[in-house]
Structure 1
Amino acid sequence: MAIDFHAEKNRFTYTRRHADVSWTAMIEKLVEVRGKHAVDIGCGGGIYTRAFAHLGAAQVTGVDFSLEMLAGARTQTVGYPQIAYHNGHALDTGLADASCDLVLKRALTHHMKVEDLAPSFAEALRILRPGGTLLVQNRTPEDCLLPGSETNLRGYFFELYPRLIEREVKRRHSGETMLDTLRTAGFQIVEEHKLWETRKVYPDLEDLAADLLTRTGRSILHELSDPELQELVAHIQEQMLHRGMSEVLEQDRWTIWKAVKAAD
């Protein structure tokens, strides 16, 4: 069963992590954040909304279609006067024309049908000021299906449950589709970059198991029953023990598309 983003029980599933330095370093290479107005569309629990504030953004607006996600995000950003949240949709943010300098869509487009990509990118283009930048971060099918390893734990999901492969690939868009759609939407410059983002460092296998069993921030795990999830956790722990791992550094392979709106 897919995750219900509107359910109160899932309010905090995307709040508790912090953006890793691997992510912030890449963002700083791609775009100037300091002093800018950044908009985080599909902000969930505000993890990357907070990260923009830490990078020096003068104003950050988190947009999400779920009131429960926004409620969770607000609990994590008390004391951040530069952050505000807005209930809106990727195709209709409700924000003003040319009102921001930077838009992020992270881990959002795999929840969208291919026919909705162009309207969502056009909406980002509308709210960006001339010369502004859209960053779209997600996984291509190739990113998802890399083999499991001591850092790429996601690979074990598909090795143990091959049925998840079709589900995962079906909801991911190819790099070619993303590039073509961004250009069609009207962006002047479009680039593609690869990133191994550190998700979390687990001090021991018990901590890793606890995180997996709560499905924290992993929508694909909602496709598994509780017994299946327990089997998966045991399998990953066995793999880590076989590799002699106790502390685990988990990374995720992502693709980031940078698209720039034409300057006046």
Structure 2
Amino acid sequence: MPINFHDEQNRETYATRNADPSWISAITKHVDVPHKRIADIGCGGGIYTKALIEMGAAHVTGVDFSDEMLKAATHNCRHMVNATFHKGDAYHSNLPAHELDIVLQRALIHHLNNLEKCFKEVARVLKPNGIFIVQDRTPEDCLLPGDQSHIRGYFFEKFSRLKDRETTSRYDSIQVEQALTASGLRLFQTVPLWETRRVYETMEQLEQDLLLRTGRSILHELTEEELQELVAYIADKLQGTELPIVEQDRWTVWFAVKQG
């Protein structure tokens, strides 16, 4: 069963870690964040809202369609006076027009069936020459083999049916670029990113993270029994691996500018 983002039990699943320096470095290489007004659309638990503020943003508005995610994000950023959160979605963000310097959409577009409608909403809220950052997995990113860093690859090795579930909802770079162009946005950089997800000091920490399905919506497609099988499979694959285990996820990041 797909993850229910409105379920209180899933409130903390996207709020329990910090953005890794690998992500911060990739963003700052291409975008000037300090003193900017930013929206984090599809903010989840506020992990990247928090990171953008720590990177020097003047203000970040987190937008999500789930009340439970917004509660988690508000708590996660409770000490940050320049973070606010409100309810909206990718097609109707409820943000004012032409006021934002930057919009971030991380791990959002694979949940959508109309990229152009989403990107036109981004164009509406951005200032002229404002920057749009899209981060998601392409089908190619999803199907890289599993190893001691790319743990996610083992999910599809063990349960091949998850491949179709994962890749059919993903957009490739051509589709993203076409939707950007149709929305009045110009792509200026596409970057592959290996983002460190978490460092596990023990195998037990990794196993517990998997069993909780923490931040891994694809694992909600598995029954409890299948999840136990997957954890055992990964533990066997990683037997003898030197600790700590540094888990990384492969992403593609598209940087676009609103044409003035």
TM-score range, shorter chain: over 0.9
Q: Percent identity?
A: 49
* 1:239 CA drift (Å): 1.1
* 1:191 CA drift (Å): 2.5
For the residues of structure 2 that align with 1:190 and 1:105, how far apart are their CA atoms?
16
2:239 aligned counterpart, secondary structure: helix
What is the identity, as a one-letter code, of the residue corresponding to 1:144? C
Superposed CA deviations along residues 157-182 of structure 1, whole A, max 9, x for unmatched, are: 00000000011111111111011111
**Gap regions ≥5 residues in structure 1:** none
Identify the residue that residue 16 of structure 2 maps to in structure 1.
16
For the residues of structure 1 that align with 2:175 and 2:187, how far apart are their CA atoms?
15
- Structure 1 segments, 4+ long, off by >2 Å, are 188-191
For the residues of structure 2 that align with 1:231 and 1:30, how far apart are their CA atoms?
41
Q: Which among 253, 256, 260 is matched to residue 256 of structure 1?
A: 253
For the residues of structure 2 that align with 1:204 and 1:188, how far apart are their CA atoms?
44
Identify the residue that residue 92 of structure 2 maps to in structure 1.
92
1:241 aligned counterpart, secondary structure: coil
**Gap regions ≥5 residues in structure 2:** none
* 1:147 CA drift (Å): 0.4
Cα root mean square deviation, aligned:
0.8
Is the Cα contact below 8 Å between 2:136 and 2:252 reproduced in 1? yes
Superposed CA deviations along residues 91-148 of structure 1, whole A, max 9, x for unmatched, are: 00011001110000000001111xx100100000110011100000000000000000
Tell me the number of residue pairs that the alignment of Structure 1 and Structure 2 aligns: 260
1:156 aligned counterpart, secondary structure: helix
* 1:247 CA drift (Å): 1.6
For the residues of structure 2 that align with 1:172 and 1:192, how far apart are their CA atoms?
16
Is the Cα contact below 8 Å between 2:180 and 2:187 reproduced in 1? no
Identify the residue that residue 3 of structure 1 maps to in structure 2.
3
Is the Cα contact below 8 Å between 1:158 and 1:164 reproduced in 2? yes
For the residues of structure 2 that align with 1:205 and 1:120, how far apart are their CA atoms?
40
For the residues of structure 2 that align with 1:50 and 1:237, how far apart are their CA atoms?
33
- Calculate the TM-score normalised by the size of structure 2: 0.98
What is the identity, as a one-letter code, of the residue corresponding to 2:119? F
- Calculate the TM-score normalised by the size of structure 1: 0.97
Is the Cα contact below 8 Å between 2:177 and 2:187 reproduced in 1? no
What is the identity, as a one-letter code, of the residue corresponding to 2:175? T
